Amino acid sequence: METTLRGVGVSHGVAIGEVRHMGTAVLEPPAKQIPKDEAGREQGRARQAVEAVAADLVARGNLAGGEAQAVLEAQALMAQDPELLADVERRIAVGSTAERAVYDAFASYRALLAGAGEYLAGRVADLDDVRNRIVARLLGVPMPGVPDSDEPYVLIARDLAPADTALLDPSLVLGFVTEEGGPTSHSAILARAMGVPAVVALPGAVELAEGVVVAVDGSTGEVFVDPGADKREALERDAAERRAALAAASGPGATSDGHKVPLLANVGGPADVPAALEAGAEGVGLFRTEFLFLDDSRNAPSQEKQIAAYRAVLEAFPEGRVVVRVLDAGADKPLDFLTPADEPNPALGVRGLRSLLDHPDVLRSQLSALASAAEGLPVYLEVMAPMVADRIDAKAFADACREAGLHAKFGAMVEIPSAALRARSILQEVEFLSLGTNDLAQYTFAADRQVGAVSRLQDPWQPALLDLVASAAEAARAEGKSCGVCGEAASDPFLACVLTGLGVTSLSMGAASIPYVRATLAKYTLAQCERAAAAARATDTADEARRAAQAVLSGE
């Protein structure tokens, strides 16, 4: 009998296939004691397993490239955390086996993260995956991961670790559904980059029976269990219509009456450039440079390494616009040489621009590398700072850019509510704004983007978030400057229309979303987008905002 479940759609498209579950179970090692004279051998086993798992994660990242590489390298650093390893060795010294010591040490650290506030609690899934991999290696059992199958399937999991998501084979994995996660979680971002339909935060997802047929609509968040022939036909027809619309839409982003809305790509490095070019990106709206710095948490990358990576991206968009975000470290992206190790709440502490202003040599080196990389190229380089809170922050960043001899536009990311509310003040110091809606939602609603339990508050359709977007866009318009969106909100085609109606001047997203946004924008006039935006802001909930905007756009 056909039933319908609803989660959060995070990656467009429709997938129909049999359910296969992610293999994540790792047996709890027995709590047996070892003789003292075996402690040294067990500690060696533990260190070897940790290094092997870290090396495997880095290798997976190198294969995946781009955003996936940064995520996986962050996990490798987690595996090698010196405090965790010290705790493992201490437990072995008092009689635990290597596998039991790892299991217990990670359990203790897990409890600390889970109770340290929602932002850090969101790292628990990544920590569990690292633990499972180390314990599996010590026990000599298969690593947790994607099931073996010769036939295409829909993957079901409680949550997908980045190490698994990054290397999913789109020819076999038709789509995936998770019980945890949110619309801006690592897995959701990677799913959009891959172009795989995905639904997250679906209650009861792991209870779906192995082998049952499901239809996953990554646009609506609906999952149909045992869909009948009529439902399958309707979904496949809708999918075919979407593909036809995508194929018909080409060229620069614009509304049907010619209002230009440049469609840009979010990239993590040179590896993401081919997909952006194939999607017809008009430039880069967010170049996340932190992936370069995650190779070695103890030392900043050399000038030469930075220049080569930056120039590879800049050269791909001759006479195009490339917006580079300087290093955004801290919170879930700690760097030993840059971020404090003992902050009670790193998400609200010294991260982003705050870290760079505390270490001006790191900022100066990056800005100088960008200046060298852009030399002689016709590209329009723009450089922005993350986590700008006020005019003082904006001025400090602009002054640093000028002192480094950088010939580019200087901008500020709007990720903190104060920056949206006082955007006009910030624009006295910088030339453009870029709204990072992922963190802006997180800080507006005190709702960690990695925690599925608060996913309704991460929904970018929340009217309060739209109010903040409107505030920043209105300030930019008043100052005659630009205000783009580079958060995942831009990847929702209907929300892209609403953002355009709010006055946003460009949209940047994962490359796979660009054709969907281009095709949808081309259906509506600017006036329709403005009416849809007004209708959405007049509501009280995200669901009401979404329905109200779509009603306006559909002419209801």
Residue 432 CB-half CA count within 13 A: 23
CB atoms within 10 A of CB 230: 9
Secondary structure E strands in 330-388: 380-385
Q: What angle do CA 291, 297, 303 make, to 5 degrees?
A: 60
Burial (0-12, 13-18, 19+ Cβ within 10 Å), 133 = buried
Of 483, 486, 497, 529, which one is the catalytic site residue? Answer: 486
Residue 204 CB-half CA count within 13 A: 8
**67 to 124, 204, 269, 291, 326: CA distances (angstroms):** 20, 29, 8, 7, 15
End-to-end CA distance of the chain: 33
**Contacts with 177 (C-beta within 8 Å, 6 or more apart), sequence order:** 7, 154, 155, 156, 157, 198, 199, 200, 202, 205, 208, 214, 216, 223
Distance CA 333, CA 330 (A): 5
Q: What one-letter code names the amino acid at 261?
A: V
Secondary structure E strands in 100-212: 153-157, 173-178, 198-200
Contact (CB, 8 A) for 152 and 174: yes
Q: What one-letter code names the amino acid at 34?
A: I
Distance CA 53, CA 80 (A): 9
Burial (0-12, 13-18, 19+ Cβ within 10 Å), 361 = exposed
Q: What angle do CA 469, 472, 478 make, to 5 degrees?
A: 135
Residue 486 catalytic?
yes
Q: What angle do CA 273, 438, 524 make, to 5 degrees?
A: 75
Residue 493 CB-half CA count within 13 A: 26
Q: What angle do CA 335, 180, 82 make, to 5 degrees?
A: 25
Q: What angle do CA 396, 399, 401 make, to 5 degrees?
A: 110
CB atoms within 10 A of CB 31: 11
Of 12, 21, 186, 359, which one is the catalytic site residue? Answer: 186
Catalytic residues: 186, 486
